[in-house]
Chains A and B, each alone.
Chain A
């Protein structure tokens, strides 16, 4: 069964460093998403992406964040200058369509900023 994959599973970085989180969505899916979950809290939407453009972004997704689909399979989230409060689990998801279609999530990348 096709699944969303994410790398790395864990990443530790120093405050102020750039990190790139990688995702490979399900191959026939057209919509891609990033969510984050601070430890012990709910899952929060960051950004949605379709046709090489951001469809929607949340207030959390400020200028420090960017997303890219550099090739036909990868979908990346970049944090330019990490802060302590960026420490969280980051989930990538993909769906065939928006709204009514189910978003399938990857296993997540746990980011720790020291």
Chain B
């Protein structure tokens, strides 16, 4: 069965600090997809990024960057120069490809509460 672990329950930083959110996953499938979602205080789930298991290239989008390392089954998320508006719960999630035991459903980690102080 697939599993996603976000070991950091809460992180607190001061504005402009860089912060990395860790995500470790388990799956038996060779083809799978990884996601990050943001849940701001208003409660909705906002999609941030999708990565497939064949693409280990790191990605940068503005102040956000993602480091996918298949060798360690990790998909970490870094926010550079954090801002108060980044305060939210961040979820890492995993989905398996066709033929996988959990095809089509997202398995979420427990989430990391990020608080950015001014």
The interface of chain A, by Cβ under 8 A from chain B, is: 31, 33, 35, 41-45, 48, 55-56, 58, 89, 91, 93, 98-100, 102-108, 110
B residues near A110, Cβ cutoff 8 Å:
43
Q: Is B67 an interface residue (CB 8 A)?
A: no
- A87 to B58 alpha-carbon distance, docked (Å): 39
A residues near B46, Cβ cutoff 8 Å:
105
Q: Are B110 and A105 in contact (CB under 8 A)?
A: no
- A106 to B44 alpha-carbon distance, docked (Å): 7
Cβ 8 A contact of A56, one of B35, B45, B47, B104: B104
A residues near B44, Cβ cutoff 8 Å:
105-108
- A110 to B50 alpha-carbon distance, docked (Å): 27
Cβ 8 A contact of A42, one of B35, B97, B109: B109
Q: Are A48 and B105 in contact (CB under 8 A)?
A: yes
Q: How many A-B residue pairs have CB under 8 A?
A: 67
Residue from B45, B47, B93, B103 with most neighbouring chain A CB atoms (10 Å):
B45
Q: Are B95 and A107 in contact (CB under 8 A)?
A: no
Q: Is B37 an interface residue (CB 8 A)?
A: yes
B residues near A108, Cβ cutoff 8 Å:
43-45
Q: Are A99 and B103 in contact (CB under 8 A)?
A: yes
Q: How far is the CB of A33 from chain B (nearest CB, A)?
A: 7
- A106 to B47 alpha-carbon distance, docked (Å): 11
Q: Are B43 and A42 in contact (CB under 8 A)?
A: no
User: Contacts A48-B105, A99-B100, A100-B52; is A42 near B45 (CB within 8 Å)?
Assistant: no
Q: Are A99 and B96 in contact (CB under 8 A)?
A: yes
Q: Are A100 and B95 in contact (CB under 8 A)?
A: yes
Cβ 8 A contact of B43, one of A41, A56, A89, A104: A89
A residues near B43, Cβ cutoff 8 Å:
89, 107-108, 110
